[in-house]
Amino acid sequence: MKIYNSIWLATVLLTMVHTAEAQDTLKYTGNTLVNADYHHGQLAPAIGVHNIQAFRANREHPELADGLDWTYNHAPMMAYWNNTYFLEYLSDPVGEHIPPSRTLLQTSKDGYNWSKAAILFPPYRIPDGWKKEGYPGVAKDLYATMHQRVGFYVSKSDRLFALAYYGIAMDKKDDPNDGKGIGRVIREIKKDGSYGPIYFLRPNSSWDMKDAAYPMYTKNRDKGFVKACNEILSSPLMMQQMVEEADRNDPLIPFNRPVKAFSYYHLPDKKVVGLWKHALTSVSNDGGKSWQYNPLRAPGVVNSNAKIWGQGTSDGRFAIVYNPSEFRWPLAVSTSDNGLNYKDLLLVNGEISPMRYGGNYKSYGPQYIRGILETNGKPADGNMWLTYSMNKEDIWVAKVPVPVVSTVPGPVDEVFHNLPDGTELKYWNIVSPLWASVKIEKAPDGLKALTLRDKDPFDYAKAERVIPAARKINIEFEVTPAQNNTGSLNIEFQDAKGIAAGRLIFDSDGEFKAKVGYRNSGIIKYEAGKSYAIRVALDLDKRMYQVFVNGVDKGAKMMFAPVSAFERVTFRTGDVRRFPDVDTPTDQDFDLKDPGTPVAEAVFHISSLKTATF
């Protein structure tokens, strides 16, 4: 039997390869692959990506999380409308498929500063005694489980609508997306920030509408609202996103197969490229009404069961964003000139924050990536805006500059106060949690500085600058620590794969030190509020670096790891993280100790960074 199965699988894969060669098929032809033993996969970063946390779950102190204490937050989606970013996501008390469930909404004018999370679609109570066909048990004090693959729609009349789906999970292992749920709902988001009433857009046939908490959209006297709903229902590309939750024989679903998390984009010739979980892909010639071939794995694209996102970019090119491994890390972007042949693979986010709260079906990593659908607005800055959940717990957004590039124009010479407002971090990659922010702020001397703050007991702030590759280089920066008795600032000198050869530390014991092999070597005692001009002369031929503090030579240090060239400078308010790894058990069933209470804040102001080879 094993031999038979092997032959069958080989035949299927071979057929897929031949099909891919014969059709217009999205494929990856680059040579870069991920090493999942590292959270960053050893990928070079896309220059200037800013990762911003929009919501941090907090069960212990909900007053620090917009008054909300549910810790499962997942499946975010974005729209850009009325010069505003909109962010929608699911929220459950503890874990996936365990009700009650609701959908939250946040907004932002700049993508960096987000409003308090508001309840957009509230929990939906199921009548006691309800039974799901083919599943044991009777509903008692049960609420619906929310799920959706499509969150927003901007109508042809330029009105914004939010969508969501109420499914039913009789227990934590039941599938709420089996076509036997309640149905899809819709409501309008108005320009003044208010919401219209909730209506059913498309209920499941298994749901008796006499039990419905909301009316059908056709009952709305607003003809524009009804027209927008009909636009959705008549759009094959909109309806295809609903296949998982819809009736299994819904005639409005063009391709009614068990494929998940559909995303798409148009090519210049009007063909549509479709993408599903597991990097399945196909091409449509008729706007999604039919597909050239059954979805097959995109040749060369490594992806497991997390979402993959595709879109055209403002420079006339294309991008796909996904987890290019069998795990839900790292998060990466690949670009294409023609929307079919993808040739590079660059890092978007290579961090995994600690999962603070265990729960049903929670997975580690930055995952379930989504951008802004073609019909849901174009950000004014021309950049690619994305959203994802971290560990199915916290909600993040990422700004990916367009064009997507991996090299910088030359040596660094940045005094932040002298740079135009809003451009200071153009070439910097940042990871900025709400409790460990990375921003341009005014330092105590009144001048602008790159400021890293950290009051998060488990996460850290990170700012990274790619530099031209060099074997011998002077790296100069000025740091003003606001304290010397808490927190730490790690400064690393890394290669293209993120491997550090040298590390300096402003440590919580008041000492500025260097990592030398197993141990850290003290350099000086540092003072709170005092500025320190640091120059590091790194020489790979000698595997040594000389450290100067305020112009004084503090001696040579041995590099603790070999690299072939220096290509990054990283500032980070915490130690290196290596958990989870590829052997970590999938499900975390425990909470971390007191994860909802901030610690004493540490603040570090970096006023400048300069590099020069020698």
Please write the tens of the pLDDT for every residue from 134-170: 999 999 999 999 998 999 999 999 999 999 999 999 9
Q: Count of H helices and E strands in the chain?
A: 3, 38
pLDDT of the residue at 4: 39
pLDDT > 70 fraction of the chain, expressed in percent and rounded:
96
Please confirm whether the linkage preceding 562 is cis (ω < 30° from 0): no
Exposure on the CB side of residue 108, measured as CA atoms within 13 A: 21
State the pTM of this model.
Answer: 0.95
The pLDDT assigned to 5 comes to: 40
Q: Above 80 in pLDDT, residue 352?
A: yes
Give the pLDDT band of residue 211 (cuts 50, 70, 90). confident
pLDDT range class, residue 172, cuts 50, 70, 90: confident
Q: Which residues are registered as beta bridge partners of 106? A: 87
Distances (CA, A) of 406 to 45, 49, 297, 400, 467: 6, 11, 27, 12, 10
Flag whether pLDDT at 179 surpasses 80. Answer: yes
Mean pLDDT of 199-203: 98
pLDDT value of position 7: 44
Domain ranges in the chain are 25-400, 413-613
Q: For residue 14, list its beta bridge partners.
A: none
- pLDDT over 60 (residue 9): no
CATH of domain 413-613: 2.60.120.560
pLDDT digits (tens, 9 = 90+) for 539-585: 999 999 999 999 999 999 999 999 999 999 999 999 999 999 999 99
Residues 28-84 pLDDT 10s: 999 999 999 999 999 999 999 999 999 999 999 999 999 999 999 999 999 999 999
- pLDDT, tens digit, 9 for 90 and up, residues 413-470: 999 999 999 999 999 999 999 999 999 999 999 999 999 999 999 999 999 999 999 9
**Which of these, 417, 398, 415, lies nearest to 533 by C-alpha position?**
415
CATH of domain 25-400: 2.120.10.10
Q: d(Cα 403, Cα 409) in Å, to the nearest integer? A: 14
415 burial level (CB within 10 Å; 0-12, 13-18, 19+): middle
- Residue 601 and residue 433 in contact, taking contact as beta carbons nearer than 8 Å: no
| Concatenated DSSP letters of 555-603 | EEEE-SS--S-EEEEEEESS-----S-TTS-S----PPSSTTS----EE
Q: Tell me the average pLDDT across 391-397.
A: 98
Helix (H, G, I), strand (E, B) or coil at 8: helix
Query: What's residue 464's pLDDT?
Result: 98
pLDDT, average across residues 129-138: 93
C-alpha–C-alpha distance, residues 513 and 526, integer Å = 10
The yes-or-no verdict on residue 10 having pLDDT over 50 is no
pLDDT at 570: 98
Q: How far apart are alpha carbons 142 and 99 in whole angstroms?
A: 7
DSSP lists the bridge partners of residue 421 as none
DSSP structure class, residue 218:
G
- pLDDT band at 15, cuts 50/70/90? very low
